[in-house]
A and B are shown apart, each in its own frame.
Chain A
Amino acid sequence: MISYIIRRLLYAIPILIGVNIITFVLFFVVNSPDNMARMHLGMKHVTPEAVQQWKHEHGYDKPLIYNAQQQGAKKLTDTIFYNKSVKLFAFRFGQSDSGRNIAYDIRQRMWPSLSIALPTFMVGLLLNITLALLLVFFRHTYIDFWGVVTLVVMMSISSLFYIIGGQYLVGKLLHLVPISGYGEGGNVWKFLILPVVIGVVSGIGGGTRWYRTIFLEETGKDYVRTARAKGVSELRVLFRHVLKNAMIPILTGVVVVIPMLFMGSLILESFFGIPGLGSYTIDAINKQDFAIVRAMVFLGSVLYIVGLILTDISYTLVDPRVRLE
């Protein structure tokens, strides 16, 4: 398994280089260094000299990818692409174009994101699986029928509606928790409860239907029929046998997102004023801060690759027939 993981990690290098090149090209197709300078210098009294000065100071006065005026390897290394990208592979994100240390900002902002995403993910997963198993348990009854109808309705509603509706009902009308904000220490729970509940509820429709489909497929298999024939109770059949055998498709969808959890949720964090990473990339794109954009895209790619490797590893844990070679 170790050699498999090493091989997968080595495969990741060309992928990450490719991601870097694509990010670089896409960013600079839309934004030129002059545009970036003007954006950072503000709207008033921006002179051409000030633009040149900004580019010089931030290293954007070099050619983008190929420096024809240099000799030898410097033709490639004395460029914006090389200077801004190569340190990423050592996870040295450097300073943002506005002067902030990116790694420090990420470390600061990932915890609030995690404090929302992790409970939302865990509670949501448990609840969705439990509800799905219960619907399967009550299949062909009015609970199953109305349950599925409710799920379809729930998954048809925009997550924005859950957020605004939840804030309106719980925060504004019932005055139960602060409508937005973020606390510290023991105070933090009252700010988290509403976004977590909304995050969980908004995911119930799609999640539960997905797991219900998986479980229904499993319940038609021979081992379930055998278990029932042996007199195993229906609850035990579902929560022990069916659940265990449905782990592969569940893990495929679940494990890959675990490393991404700390990247946060843009809309949820924005509406609840959570100081997380959700809006970090979007804000950077709007402010044309290439340093942050490339760092976050790189980090996202790394985490996704890690998620995929973890998924593969998790298969071996739930299914002894799977071997990573």
Chain B
Amino acid sequence: MLVRSMRGWFLFRFLMLCILVSAAPLEAAWNNPYPPQESTQNIFYSSFGERPNHLDPARSYSSNEITFTGQIYEPPLQYHYLKRPYELIPLAAESMPQTIYLDAQSQPLGDHPAPESIAYTLYRISIRPGILYQPHPAFARDVFGAPSYLDMGRKRLRGMNKLSDFRETGTRELVASDYVYEIKRLAHPALQSPIFGLMSEYIVGLADYAKTLQTAWDALKKKKGENAFLDLQRYDLEGVRATGRYTYEIKIYGKYPQMKYWLAMPFFAPMPPEADRFYSQPGMKQRNITLDWYPVGTGPYMLTVNNPNRKMVLERNPNFRGEPYPSEGEPGDAEQGLLKMAGKSMPFIDKAVYSLEKEAIPQWTKFLQGYYDVSGINSDSFDQAIQFGAQGDVGLTPNMREKGIKLKTTVQSSIFYLGFNMLDPVVGGNSERAKKLRQAIAIAADYEEYIAIFSNGRGIPAQGPIPPGIFGYREGKQGINPLVYDWIDGKAVRKPLTEALRLMKEAGYENGIDAQTGKPLTLYFDVTATGPDDKAVLDWWRKQFDKLHINLVIRNTTYNRFQEKMLKGTEQLFRWGWNADYPDPENFLFLLYGPNKKVGKGGENAANYENAEFDALFVKMKNMDNGPERQAIIDRMVDIVRRDSPWLWGINPKSFALYHAWYGNAKPNLMANNGLKYKTIDAKLRHDRREQWNQPVLWPLFAALALIIAFLVPGFIGWWRREHGANL
């Protein structure tokens, strides 16, 4: 009797507890993935989908790497955050580099010399005094002033598995020779810097320097194996030298105005030799303590946690000098509140936490729950986030607006095109027949439809090789490709299919039959289609060619095989793309420059296009400053390639970015990679919204439990009767 009553009492208490727990308003959000103490801190939360491979400034090139390196390293120049068109301004440099043109005897030529007289260009750069490196063990000194962590030996390294295990840190002032050291590193044989090939064509002596280093490195490796350390300070580089504590010079061959854009990339950020030596000690590499993993810079942030399988954390660099927020921007910036912080010292955010999210669903859900401050939009969540108005204008859905989410869109400085291999006997070459065939295909391939179906409207049909936002791009009627579009009622309208069929007939392919052979025209499209979505895309492509009665055969292949085909020039049609390195038309037009062909030269001209007039104009244009004369040459070049049609110009994609209400100073900048320092977070607002949006719901759990019990009880009663032969 007592037992039964006690059991009943426990049951009653359990049920009461369940009811209380499920009914009580709970203070904290249970699904908060971050430590509770961080809730009201000035922290930026974001995600990354793919781990960065390299954080060494000599090697890092991908956009997912530059998200981090851009905040840590400080090259001499940067892009103005707000102004458009993009404008370079000093970062670590005191002023913009002084450009001196030299003749073959390295004598100055004056301010505006004839281009043919320029043998060299000298960039003289002065950096700001007083800039300090982030705290780092490489700078730590003992009481005698000797480096604390140099020549440590494997014994002392025991127990040191990450950079934070080195207790002592130090700093020192940034000097010009650190910039020189980094440029030397571009030629280091073990680093394989992605821009070494390009820079060795320009920086005086860099190619020979690499050969010297290679010989020295091979000898060192033979002698010391994995512990080899190549001290670059012992080898001088002819074209780059420090001329003072805060000044250095870079000498390049001829004139290359685009060099200044490279000076805004981490490749040209400073590297203290002590850091290089610190990371090269025996045993460091075996512990994954490398410069590629633990960057050291002078920027506003430093990497304090690097676990790219889980999260990466940037924290405010306590030694950062502070930098004023810009006080001017483009029209409309002030109205959008982008100048509210003008003149205030940056950075504004104390810490940035980037979590690994490989899958789109959890990433999107966490953004909606307020656990990520920004998000892109993938195809699955597009309809949930975006709606189109009656005029085709893009807006947020009511759900998003209710949450205070903001949308910013911008056309990217990128192009995704379909290329014709110009070496191919059918689609390639400069014959009228081949040109007309390519032009006909250009009309038939309805990129407007492609963008609507496969990109949710996130893009615009490209009219030529230069994307919007880059000098040389033309808006409106002047900018349309007249071979594919007509300008009707203030809009670019694709030419009718009859025009394409007429071109086919003139090319000798009436109704898709080759007049010369009498056989149906079959073209081959080499692709590396891997995902389930690709089938629909490829079916769409078949339909486009079918409009011209062309039989399109899809040759699906592996990435490696595709690359080999491209290098050998055995493909016929292919898809390719390019993201701008810098906002200059040279960075796109060089993709069609003859000497830059893929076949035989290994260049970026994937279509193997060659046109003597275009090539001559390119050489002239690339060394010019922006202005009407350069625009005229670009117009002519664009006209040439439009008529030759080596590409279907494809798409300039549009990026859609979502921001929560507590995220401030957001403005898309496709060139600046150091944007974190400008941003603000209203941590209180974020905390309140998270609490409001994430109250736990418990009743379904108890309902499910009750259902299971209800299902099992009759069975147990039956078993009880069977076992005990008693009535309950």
A108, A175, A179: the one contacting B362 at CB < 8 Å is A179
- B597 to chain A: closest CB distance in Å? 13
User: What 0/1 pattern do residues 41 to 85 of A give for CB contact below 8 A with B?
Assistant: 110111111100110110000000000000000000000000000
Report the Cα distance A23→B99, complex, angstroms.
Answer: 55
- B69 to chain A: closest CB distance in Å? 14
* Complex interface: chain B residues within 8 A of A171 (CB): 31, 362, 365
Q: Which of the 9-residue segments A134-142, A218-226, A290-298 touches chain B?
A: A134-142
Q: Which residues of chain B have a CB within 8 Å of any CB of chain A?
A: 29-33, 35, 53-54, 61-62, 161, 189-190, 192, 194-198, 285-288, 290, 292-293, 307, 309-310, 355-359, 361-363, 365-366, 369, 371, 558-560, 563-564, 581, 602, 604, 694-698, 700-701, 711-712, 714-715, 718-719, 723
Report the Cα distance A56→B604, complex, angstroms.
Answer: 24
* Complex interface: chain B residues within 8 A of A173 (CB): 697
* Complex interface: chain A residues within 8 A of B29 (CB): 175
Which partner residue on chain A sits nearest B362 by CB separation?
A180
Report the Cα distance A93→B723, complex, angstroms.
Answer: 60
- A91 to chain B: closest CB distance in Å? 14
Contact present for B356 and A273 (CB under 8 Å): yes
Does any Cβ of B come within 8 Å of A167's Cβ?
Answer: yes
- B279 to chain A: closest CB distance in Å? 11
Contact flag A30-B192 (CB < 8 Å), given A143-B712, A164-B361, A175-B695? no
- B67 to chain A: closest CB distance in Å? 16
Give 20 CB contacts A-B under 8 Å. Answer: A38-B563, A44-B581, A98-B53, A99-B285, A101-B288, A104-B286, A173-B697, A175-B695, A176-B30, A176-B701, A177-B30, A177-B31, A178-B371, A181-B33, A183-B33, A233-B723, A271-B358, A271-B359, A273-B310, A273-B355
Report the Cα distance A288→B560, complex, angstroms.
Answer: 10
B581, B697, B712: the one contacting A175 at CB < 8 Å is B697
- B611 to chain A: closest CB distance in Å? 23
Contact flag A175-B694 (CB < 8 Å), given A35-B560, A41-B192, A101-B288? yes
* Complex interface: chain B residues within 8 A of A35 (CB): 559-560, 563-564
Report the Cα distance A168→B359, complex, angstroms.
Answer: 13
Known contacts A108-B309, A143-B712, A272-B362, then 11 further A-B pairs from the complex at CB < 8 Å, ordered by chain A residue: A38-B563, A50-B197, A57-B189, A109-B309, A141-B718, A175-B31, A178-B31, A178-B366, A179-B362, A182-B310, A288-B560
Report the Cα distance A270→B196, complex, angstroms.
Answer: 35
Which partner residue on chain A sits nearest B308 by CB separation?
A275
* Complex interface: chain A residues within 8 A of B718 (CB): 141
Which partner residue on chain A sits nearest B47 by CB separation?
A273
Does any Cβ of B come within 8 Å of A187's Cβ?
Answer: yes
Contact present for A138 and B719 (CB under 8 Å): yes
User: What 0/1 pattern do residues 1 to 38 of A give for CB contact below 8 A with B?
Assistant: 00000000000000000000000000000111001001
Does any Cβ of B come within 8 Å of A314's Cβ?
Answer: no
B196, B558, B564: the one contacting A30 at CB < 8 Å is B558
Does any Cβ of B come within 8 Å of A301's Cβ?
Answer: no
Those of A259-279 within 8 Å (CB) of chain B: 270-273, 275-276, 279
Contact present for B195 and A45 (CB under 8 Å): yes
- A48 to chain B: closest CB distance in Å? 5
A32, A48, A57, A104: the one contacting B560 at CB < 8 Å is A32
Does any Cβ of B come within 8 Å of A174's Cβ?
Answer: yes
Contact present for B61 and A273 (CB under 8 Å): no
- B600 to chain A: closest CB distance in Å? 10
Contact present for A31 and B560 (CB under 8 Å): yes
Contact present for A180 and B33 (CB under 8 Å): yes
* Complex interface: chain B residues within 8 A of A56 (CB): 189
Which partner residue on chain A sits nearest B286 by CB separation?
A101
* Complex interface: chain B residues within 8 A of A273 (CB): 310, 355-359, 362
Does any Cβ of B come within 8 Å of A130's Cβ?
Answer: no
Contact present for A174 and B700 (CB under 8 Å): yes
User: What 0/1 pattern do residues 80 to 110 of A give for CB contact below 8 A with B?
Assistant: 0000000000000001001111001100110
* Complex interface: chain A residues within 8 A of B694 (CB): 175
Contact present for A167 and B365 (CB under 8 Å): yes
Report the Cα distance A49→B192, complex, angstroms.
Answer: 10
Contact present for A57 and B192 (CB under 8 Å): yes
Which partner residue on chain A sits nearest B191 by CB separation?
A57
Contact present for A178 and B33 (CB under 8 Å): yes
- A262 to chain B: closest CB distance in Å? 15
* Complex interface: chain A residues within 8 A of B369 (CB): 172, 175, 179
B61, B285, B365, B715: the one contacting A44 at CB < 8 Å is B61
- B698 to chain A: closest CB distance in Å? 7
B288, B355, B564, B719: the one contacting A105 at CB < 8 Å is B288
Which partner residue on chain B sits nearest A48 by CB separation?
B602
Report the Cα distance A288→B355, complex, angstroms.
Answer: 25
Which partner residue on chain A sits nearest B579 by CB separation?
A44
Contact present for A275 and B602 (CB under 8 Å): no
- B100 to chain A: closest CB distance in Å? 27
Does any Cβ of B come within 8 Å of A241's Cβ?
Answer: no
B31, B194, B359: the one contacting A41 at CB < 8 Å is B194
Does any Cβ of B come within 8 Å of A319's Cβ?
Answer: no
Contact flag A49-B197 (CB < 8 Å), given A273-B310, A273-B357? yes
User: What 0/1 pattern do residues 151 to 183 of A give for CB contact below 8 A with B?
Assistant: 000000000000010011001111111111111
A42, A105, A272: the one contacting B194 at CB < 8 Å is A42
Report the Cα distance A44→B310, complex, angstroms.
Answer: 28
- B165 to chain A: closest CB distance in Å? 13
- A298 to chain B: closest CB distance in Å? 19
Does any Cβ of B come within 8 Å of A217's Cβ?
Answer: no
Which partner residue on chain A sits nearest B36 by CB separation?
A187
5 cross-chain pairs, A with B, having the tightest CB-CB distances, nearest first: A275-B309, A180-B362, A178-B33, A275-B310, A47-B197
A45, A100, A141, A146: the one contacting B288 at CB < 8 Å is A100
Does any Cβ of B come within 8 Å of A215's Cβ?
Answer: no
B53, B355, B361, B604: the one contacting A271 at CB < 8 Å is B361
Report the Cα distance A50→B201, complex, angstroms.
Answer: 14
Contact present for A234 and B723 (CB under 8 Å): yes
Contact present for A50 and B192 (CB under 8 Å): yes
Contact present for A275 and B361 (CB under 8 Å): no
B358, B563, B602, B695: the one contacting A47 at CB < 8 Å is B602
Report the Cα distance A99→B359, complex, angstroms.
Answer: 26
* Complex interface: chain A residues within 8 A of B358 (CB): 270-271, 273, 279
Which partner residue on chain B sits nearest A35 by CB separation?
B560
Report the Cα distance A84→B447, complex, angstroms.
Answer: 48
Contact flag A174-B697 (CB < 8 Å), given A167-B361, A279-B358? yes
Report the Cα distance A40→B35, complex, angstroms.
Answer: 36
Contact present for B288 and A44 (CB under 8 Å): no
Contact present for B696 and A174 (CB under 8 Å): yes
